[in-house]
Amino acid sequence: MAPAAMRIAAQSLSGAKPVSYWLDDPARPDPLPALTGDEHTDLLVVGGGYSGLWTALIAKERDPERDVVLIEGHEVGWAASGRNGGFCAASLTHGLANGVERWPDEIAKLEELGGRNLDAIEEAVARYGIDCEFERTGEIDVATEPYQLEELREWHQEIVALGITGVDFLDRDAVRAEVDSPTFLGGLWDRRGVAMLHPAKLAWGLKRACRELGVRIYEGTRGLDLVRSGEGMAVRTPYGRIFARRVALGTNIFPSLVKRVRPYTVPVYDYALMTEPLTPEQLESIGWKGRQGLGDSANQFHYFRLSADNRILWGGYDAIYPYGGKLSADLDQRPETFLKLAGQFFDCFPQLSGVNFSHAWGGAIDTCSRFTAFFGTAHQGRVAYAAGYTGLGVGSTRFGADVMLDLLAGEETERTRLEMVRSKPMPFPPEPFAWAGIEITRRSLARADDNGGRRNLWLKTMDKLGLGFDS
């Protein structure tokens, strides 16, 4: 970055608050008391993010008489569910391309289930009166390099051949008519497959809906261990115990209470900025009347969207894996990444020079080697888990909740018959091999972006093995 550009980027960050914009909201509910003493329940849900909240809610919808308890180690929505970009996608497979590559024989069913899942989220938001600023505007994948444009054009032809509708190819003029950036050369617009929302308000709304249906929620209550107890299970917490017939684990990047699951995920720290609200003149300079979500097509990609009050969220690019998979609040802030993101923002939207960022934050994503969630049971079917959403869990965690409840019920359904549900990703190796492999992959992806998309031998080998690293 040139010195002048660096000064502009640094100045734009001078007043940024080191907290997620979504969580820095007066609507944030007060935390609920922690569990003290012993509890007994039919179903215990561990984790108060989207995964756990949807599981508790759907469990009560399926059987209103079922007794359900949910515990959360901090506050509901505090982790990834309150820090993401608010892109709620229909895809269950981290994008259509990943699904076609891994499960070509199931992709039609996976796409159908994903569309139904997004419809169900939209219906639940309306039914429970969840004010999460839900807008089903779609998403545009933009090309910023000529090779990316050709790849998008070829991929659109494949999408059409698969019989999938609602995805349009946009040339340079068409994409800039939607959102005007001098860096945009074209794009693919998925018109119905993605909604924009306020992620923290979705979590808080689900919390309220769960409680209205009778779910007992304890915050500040971390599950410490999981053991057999008679015909059920027991989870120890700092101030008590919970005895449950069945347990659903929605802990995602936090260490699973089923220890054999832990090698399947690693934490990847992702970072985002939020601008101050744009003036009408600034908004007019970029267009964006359709309010779609956007993402560029590089390996190290950006995602960006408008908030309800016309701020721009700008995130992505760096995906940082801490050695040993360490989780720490200290890693939520990374000034060198914020400076890089700010400079790239003004490269994309030079007409917004002078805009300042109000918030800068980060958080950990539960990445797995196949980029999309995996599922399973433990303790002879008494415990179910879902993890590995790799940054696209805003929508697919609801599907994962249905899968966990199917597994706990011992039911064979259209979900549990899927190869995606019945198979596992390859686990990550122990250190130092995990860090070395991930770092080689990150550097190789950066070189590919600088080299017309050409992938080196390492990446080609990883592709053949169906392995990768992403956020």
Q: What is the pLDDT of residues 177-222, one digit of tens each?
A: 999 999 999 999 999 999 999 999 999 999 999 999 999 999 999 9
pLDDT in tens, 398-419: 999 999 999 999 999 999 999 9
pLDDT tens, 138-172? 999 999 999 999 999 999 999 999 999 999 999 99
Q: Are 247 and 46 in contact (CB under 8 A)?
A: yes
Please tell me the distance from the alpha carbon of residue 298 to that of residue 449, in angstroms, as a whole number: 6
Average model confidence (pLDDT) for the chain? 95
Q: How does 233-262 read in b/e, with b if 16+ C-beta sit within 10 Å?
A: bbbebeebbbebbbbbbbbbbbebbbeebb
pLDDT in tens, 102-147: 999 999 999 999 999 999 999 999 999 999 999 999 999 999 999 9
C-beta atoms surrounding 44 within 10 Å: 29
For residue 82, the model assigns a pLDDT of: 98
User: Which tokens is 112 given?
Assistant: 């159908």
d(CA 248, CA 256): 11
Match 């982790």 to its residue by tokens: 79
pLDDT band at 235 (very low <50, low <70, confident <90, very high): very high
pLDDT above 80: residue 469: no
Confidence of residue 390 (pLDDT cuts 50, 70, 90): very high
pLDDT tens sequence across 309-337: 999 999 999 999 999 999 999 999 999 99
Calculate what percentage of the chain has a pLDDT beyond 90: 89
Residue pair 261/385 in contact (Cβ under 8 Å)? The answer is yes
Whether residue 470 has pLDDT greater than 70: no
User: DSSP readout, 246-295?
Assistant: EEEE--TTSPPSSGGGGGG-EEEEEEEEEEPPPPHHHHHHHB-TT--EEE
How far is residue 456's CA from residue 388's CA, in Å, rounded to a whole number?
26
> Given a cut of 80, is residue 49 above it in pLDDT?
yes
Which residues partner with 443 through β-bridges? none
Task: Specify whether the CB–CB gap between 43 and 323 falls below 8 A.
Answer: no
Task: Write down the pLDDT at residue 299.
Answer: 87
CB 80 within 8 A of CB 62: no
- C-alpha 220/C-alpha 321 separation (Å) is 27
Q: To the nearest 5 percent, what fractions of the chain are helix, strand and coil?
A: 35, 25, 40
Helices (H), 78-136: 96-102, 107-127
Q: Are 428 and 369 in contact (CB under 8 A)?
A: yes
- How far is residue 120 CA from its own chain's centroid? 18
Structure tokens at 174: 């068409």
Gap between the Cα atoms of 187 and 141, Å rounded? 5
Q: For residue 48, what are the contacts with CB-CB under 8 A and spacing of at least 6?
A: 70, 71, 72, 73, 74, 75, 76, 77, 78, 203, 207, 217, 219
Amino acid present at 311: R
- Identify the H or E element spanning 89: strand 87-89
Q: What is the pLDDT of residues 437-456, one digit of tens each?
A: 888 888 888 888 888 888 89
For residue range 288-302, list pLDDT tens digits in order: 999 999 999 988 899
Q: Is residue 391 exposed (0-12), middle (13-18) or buried (19+ Cβ within 10 Å)?
A: buried
Amino acid sitting at position 141: D
pLDDT reported for residue 450: 84
Per DSSP bridges, beta strands 194-196 and 87-89 are antiparallel
Tell me the β-bridge partners of 38. 241
Q: What is the pTM of this model?
A: 0.96
Cis ω before 432 (30° cut-off from 0): yes
Between the CA atoms of 131, 137, 138 and 142, what dihedral angle is there, to the nearest 10 degrees? -120
Measured in residues, the chain has a length of 471
